[in-house]
């Protein structure tokens, strides 16, 4: 993969086509001062089309957030123009404060200070259930 345009930073690769913007927004990348590039519909042997995000700055990223949106994504860490680390994200077993329970009678809808916790109930179908009321997300 071409990492020429980045000196120190992060490349999020193998994002399903059209889903890059969702990750961009979920990670609040618009708030960064550095340059951020989203490449959409890049050709991929494995995926047909994919999205790629390049962040020109070393930063902590929320792996659970990326794994929840795109469990097939890979994270590439670039230092001094070299790829120094590469790993796959995975579907998190538990997500905290990444999304909200939609059940109006759920205790998290009433007690706003509670953490929004979901646990992975069905890995195959990526089903998460609210820890409090068991309502599923998808």
Catalog residues that contact Zn ion under the rule CB under 5 A.
101, 103, 106, 130, 132-133
Q: Smallest distance, Å, CB 128 to Zn ion? A: 11
Q: Between 17 and 133, whose beta carbon lies closer to Zn ion?
A: 133
Q: Between 19 and 129, whose beta carbon lies closer to Zn ion?
A: 129
Tell me the C-alpha to C-alpha distance, in Å, between residue 23 and each of 62, 115, 123, 134.
10, 21, 21, 26
Q: Smallest distance, Å, CB 101 to Zn ion? A: 3
Q: Smallest distance, Å, CB 108 to Zn ion? A: 5
Residue 130 contacts residue 96 (beta carbons within 8 Å): no
- Two tokens at 59? 């930063």
Q: Between 8 and 103, whose beta carbon lies closer to Zn ion?
A: 103
Distance CA 105, CA 110 (A): 7
Helix, strand, coil fractions of the chain, as percent rounded to 5: 15, 40, 45
Handedness of CA 72, 60, 94, 17 (dihedral sign): negative
Q: Smallest distance, Å, CB 126 to Zn ion? A: 18
Q: Between 72 and 109, whose beta carbon lies closer to Zn ion?
A: 109
């Amino acid at each position: 993969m071409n990492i020429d345009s980045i000196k120190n930073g992060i490349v999020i690769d193998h994002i399903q086509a059209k889903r890059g913007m969702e990750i961009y927004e979920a990670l609040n990348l618009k708030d960064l001062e550095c340059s951020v590039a989203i490449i959409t519909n890049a050709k991929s042997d494995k995926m047909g089309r994919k999205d790629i995000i390049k962040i020109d700055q070393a930063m902590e990223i929320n792996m659970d957030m990326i794994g929840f949106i795109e469990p097939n994504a890979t994270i590439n860490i670039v230092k001094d123009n070299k790829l120094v680390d590469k790993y796959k994200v995975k579907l998190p077993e538990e997500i905290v404060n990444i999304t909200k329970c939609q059940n109006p009678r759920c205790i998290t809808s009433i007690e706003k200070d509670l953490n929004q916790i979901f646990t992975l109930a069905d890995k195959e179908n990526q089903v998460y259930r609210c820890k409090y009321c068991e309502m599923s997300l998808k």
